[in-house]
């Protein structure tokens, strides 16, 4: 039995230093386990962040990244004064918006359809087939696009000709680029993206449907009034997350698909950075544009997350 | 009552629409593959005349013979397989060891380390500083560049961390009472308890390595180190004539080149397509792993 006294006993606080040491000692294996990877992150992730200083300097090869004259915002101003700023930003935003507009609803629509199919074999076949394009590498995917839509022997133009129309030069005409890019993106990802919606739909309480059926609801109304609202949380989160990525169109696919003929609609920020930095070796300039892009992306994702948290109470962090 | 329900349940328009959409999805997904395989087995003249739609016309193995005889193809294939196997191994070891401390709730460095790696998902140095760093470290034209810079994927570390967190505390506590160190708990117990997650991570990392195109594009210029994807780009997109060694008219050459390309697609994608039916449930599981604990 603990001895109680009438007066509160002042206990001497344990010195913080000793607690720290004993805790570090207790966790020493864990720290040892993580240490090599802490170093890995420092080297390959954080040191490049410090390397961003060359965005504000006049980098000359041979001088080292951290030397060179300080030029402040010269490169950023140069970027915005060039015609490429408007073009690349516009293309980046447009491609992302098209992807959102056309590519976002399709997996949802597909998921709703699949969930209604009663024949298990057919359902399984369609689902399995739909995931397949996701695992084709970007190179092969673009290779397929280039060959299918080629002017001379592409299957698409072959069919177009058979139907009596003229062959279309899909790959040289800038106006087709976004369509091809977004369309092929939808083809390769709709199945895989639908997985999460299908899972959400299977989680809907069946008694909701039963109650509605007793009141004589039609199938279409079922989807509109029950299915979609019940998975709306999932939809909203994914929508907001995708919105947060609007300024970050990936480099690989555009790079593989584009050519100088279609730069007008195809050149995005990431490919511009690549050309300026890697091909033209304008390291400082490209870093400045890259920094600008990273900051914009970060703020978009942060804002998107705040909105998500405020509206749905669910967020990334 | 049941009859009444079933009458209301059948909306023929809705059902038909569902099946139509599903069928369209199936067709749209599979037709490109069917066409590619068909062309790869067809005669080159027939391809050039645009006669192939669904079946091989004038079936021949000529394209395969030519492509499979190219030494460059086999070098690239070997490289890809090497990078995939070694790389995935390194990835798994690194990811599990890094994730384990993060999953232990009593780990004092937990908050800091979690933030430290999570931050890298939202902000990074960008292409140029990373490129400068990696080349300055001497990774250019080495095999290690395909393995070390991509050692850890923060997202996968988080998935692994969630998996470790799912292990009941009693398990590790009882091991601790028996005198096991953290490392022993990790290597003898924890690892074995998360095998489904490890299977998914293996798959994701392996596919990442197999399809990796950016790294060799930036850092490898020697042909003997090149993986498949770079070769594929040359053959499929830049329409190189390196895989052709025939004479004949320029029409002939164009016809064969198309066939070579489609054969190359089949040859390059075959491993994934062949293992796909077996592995696909792991793919699907992977999506849920990421979504549940996030």
ipTM, 2 decimals?
0.85
What are phi and psi for residue A57, nearest 5 degrees? -120, 175
Residues in chain A with CB shorter than 8 Å from the CB of B63 are none
Contacts with B120 (C-beta within 8 Å, 6 or more apart), sequence order: A41, A45, A46, B154
CA–CA min distance B222, chain A (Å): 17
Cα–Cα distance, B10 to B7 (Å, whole number): 6
Nearest to A117 among B18, B48, B125 (CB): B18
Q: Does the pLDDT of residue A296 top 80, yes or no? A: yes
Nearest to B129 among A37, A52, A252 (CB): A52
Nearest to B128 among A153, A252, A290 (CB): A290
Mean pLDDT within A101-116: 93
Q: Does A176 touch chain B (CB under 8 A)?
A: no
Question: What pTM does this model have?
Answer: 0.86
Q: Which residue has the higher pLDDT, A120 or A66?
A: A120
pLDDT band at A18 (very low <50, low <70, confident <90, very high): confident
Cα–Cα distance, A60 to A214 (Å, whole number): 76
Q: Does the pLDDT of residue B241 top 50, yes or no? A: no
Mean pLDDT within B96-103: 94
CA–CA min distance B184, chain A (Å): 10
Q: Does the pLDDT of residue B50 top 80, yes or no? A: no
pLDDT at residue B2 in the model: 45
* Choice among A82-91, A130-139, A225-234, B273-282 with the minimum mean pLDDT: B273-282
Cα–Cα distance, A40 to B151 (Å, whole number): 8
Count other C-beta atoms under 10 Å from residue B147's C-beta: 20
CA–CA min distance B272, chain A (Å): 8
- pLDDT tens for B183-231 read 888 888 899 999 989 988 998 999 899 999 999 999 999 999 999 999 8
Return the percentage of chain A with pLDDT > 70, whole number. 93
Cα–chain-centroid distance for residue B206? 6
Phi-psi region of B138 (alpha: psi -120 to 50; beta: other; left: phi over 0): left
pLDDT at residue A312 in the model: 65
What Cα–Cα distance (Å) separates residue B279 from each residue in A32, A236, B37, B96, B202?
Answer: 35, 30, 22, 21, 11
Q: Which of B261, B271, B273, B275 is nearest to B231 (CA)?
A: B261
pLDDT at residue B254 in the model: 62
At residue B21's C-alpha, the angle toward residues B19 and B25, to 5°, is 115
pLDDT at residue A5 in the model: 56
pLDDT at residue A184 in the model: 95
End-to-end CA distance of chain B: 44
pLDDT at residue A289 in the model: 93
End-to-end CA distance of chain A: 45
What Cα–Cα distance (Å) separates residue B272 from each residue in A78, A315, B114, B174?
Answer: 46, 35, 34, 43
Return the percentage of chain A with pLDDT > 90, whole number. 43
pLDDT at residue A12 in the model: 57
Q: Does A38 touch chain B (CB under 8 A)?
A: yes
Q: What is the largest CA-CA distance in chain A?
A: 102
Return the percentage of chain B with pLDDT > 90, whole number. 41
What Cα–Cα distance (Å) separates residue B251 from each residue in A73, A224, B67, B187, B234?
Answer: 55, 56, 19, 62, 21
Interface of A with B in 111-150 (CB under 8 A): 113-114, 116-117, 122-123, 125-126, 128-140, 142-144, 146-148
Helix axes B250-293, B154-165, angle to 10 degrees: 40
Q: Which residue has the higher pLDDT, B6 or B12?
A: B12
Between chains, do B254 and A144 touch, taking CB under 8 Å as contact? no
pLDDT at residue B240 in the model: 45
Compute the mean pLDDT over every residue in chain A, rounded to the nearest whole number: 87
Q: Which of B236, B216, B234, B218 is nearest to B226 (CA)?
A: B216
Cα–Cα distance, B185 to B158 (Å, whole number): 19
Q: Residue A113 corresponds to which tokens in the numbers above?
A: 């359809």
Q: Which residue has the higher pLDDT, A224 or A185?
A: A185
Q: How many CA atoms lie within 13 A of A239 on its CB side?
A: 16
Cα–Cα distance, B260 to B236 (Å, whole number): 9
Q: Does the pLDDT of residue A314 top 80, yes or no? A: no
Cα–Cα distance, B226 to B74 (Å, whole number): 11
Residues in chain A: 317
CB environment A277-294: b (16+ within 10 A), e (fewer):
bbeeebbbbbbbbbbbbb
pLDDT band at B274 (very low <50, low <70, confident <90, very high): confident
Nearest to B280 among A27, A131, A216 (CB): A131
Nearest to A219 among B11, B36, B151 (CB): B11
Between chains, do A48 and B11 touch, taking CB under 8 Å as contact? no
Between chains, do B30 and A24 touch, taking CB under 8 Å as contact? no
Between chains, do B272 and A136 touch, taking CB under 8 Å as contact? yes
Mutation for testing the B interface, residue in A24, A34, A272 having most B CBs under 10 Å:
A34
Q: Which of A305, A42, A277 is nearest to B294 (CA)?
A: A305
At residue A45's C-alpha, the angle toward residues A93 and A247, to 5°, is 5
Between chains, do B236 and A147 touch, taking CB under 8 Å as contact? yes
Between chains, do A294 and B123 touch, taking CB under 8 Å as contact? yes
Q: Which residue has the higher pLDDT, B260 or B289?
A: B260
pLDDT band at B248 (very low <50, low <70, confident <90, very high): very low
CA–CA min distance A263, chain B (Å): 17
């Amino acid at each position: 039995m603990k001895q109680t006294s009438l007066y509160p006993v002042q206990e001497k606080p344990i010195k913080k230093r000793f607690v720290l040491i004993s805790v570090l000692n207790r966790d020493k294996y864990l720290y040892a386990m993580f240490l090599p990877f802490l170093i890995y992150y420092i080297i390959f992730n954080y040191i490049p962040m410090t390397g961003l200083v060359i965005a504000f300097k006049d980098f000359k090869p041979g001088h080292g990244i951290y030397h060179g004259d300080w030029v402040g915002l010269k490169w950023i101003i140069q970027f915005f004064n060039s015609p490429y700023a408007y073009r690349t930003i516009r293309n980046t935003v447009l491609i992302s918006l098209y992807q959102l507009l056309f590519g976002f609803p399709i997996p949802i629509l597909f998921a709703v359809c699949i969930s209604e199919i009663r024949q298990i074999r057919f359902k399984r076949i369609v689902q399995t087939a739909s995931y397949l394009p996701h695992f084709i590498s970007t190179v092969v995917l673009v290779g397929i696009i280039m060959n299918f839509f080629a002017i001379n022997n592409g299957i698409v133009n072959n069919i177009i000709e058979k139907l009596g129309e003229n062959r279309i030069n899909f790959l040289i005409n800038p106006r087709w680029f976004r369509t091809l890019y977004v369309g092929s993106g939808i083809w390769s990802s709709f199945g895989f993206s639908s997985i999460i919606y299908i899972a959400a739909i299977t989680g809907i309480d069946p008694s909701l449907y039963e109650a509605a059926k007793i009141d004589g609801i039609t199938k279409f109304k079922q989807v509109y009034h029950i299915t979609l609202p019940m998975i709306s949380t999932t939809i909203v989160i994914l929508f907001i997350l995708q919105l947060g990525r609007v300024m970050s169109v990936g480099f690989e696919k555009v790079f593989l698909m584009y050519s100088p003929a279609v730069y007008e609609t195809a050149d995005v920020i990431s490919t511009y950075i690549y050309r300026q930095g890697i091909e033209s070796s304008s390291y400082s300039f490209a870093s400045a544009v890259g920094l600008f892009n990273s900051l914009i992306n970060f703020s978009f994702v942060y804002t998107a997350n705040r909105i998500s948290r405020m509206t749905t109470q669910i967020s990334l962090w | 009552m049941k009859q009444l329900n079933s009458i209301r349940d059948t909306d023929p328009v809705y059902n038909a629409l569902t099946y139509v959409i599903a069928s369209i999805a199936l067709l749209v997904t599979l037709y490109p593959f069917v066409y590619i395989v068909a062309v790869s087995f067809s005669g080159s003249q027939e391809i050039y005349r645009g006669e192939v739609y669904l079946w091989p016309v004038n079936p021949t193995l000529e394209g395969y013979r030519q492509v499979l005889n190219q030494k460059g193809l086999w070098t690239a294939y070997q490289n890809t397989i090497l990078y995939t196997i070694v790389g995935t191994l390194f990835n798994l070891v690194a990811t599990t060891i890094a994730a384990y401390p993060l999953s232990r709730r009593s780990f004092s460095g937990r908050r800091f380390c979690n933030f430290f790696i999570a931050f890298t998902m939202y902000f990074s140095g960008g292409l140029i500083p990373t490129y400068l760093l990696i080349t300055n470290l001497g990774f250019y034209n080495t095999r290690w560049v395909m393995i070390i810079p991509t050692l850890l994927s923060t997202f996968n570390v988080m998935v692994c961390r969630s998996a470790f967190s799912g292990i009941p505390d009693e398990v590790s506590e009882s091991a601790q009472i028996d005198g096991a160190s953290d490392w022993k708990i990790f290597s003898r117990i924890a690892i074995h308890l998360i095998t489904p997650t490890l299977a998914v991570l293996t798959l994701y990392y392996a596919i990442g390595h197999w399809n990796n195109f950016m790294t060799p594009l930036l850092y490898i210029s020697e042909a003997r180190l090149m993986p498949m994807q770079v070769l594929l780009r040359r053959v499929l997109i830049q329409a190189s004539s390196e895989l052709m060694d025939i004479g004949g008219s320029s029409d002939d050459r164009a016809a064969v080149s198309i066939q070579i390309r489609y054969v190359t697609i089949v040859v390059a994608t075959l491993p994934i397509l062949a293992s796909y039916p077996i592995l696909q449930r792991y793919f699907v599981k992977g999506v849920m792993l990421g979504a549940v604990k996030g």
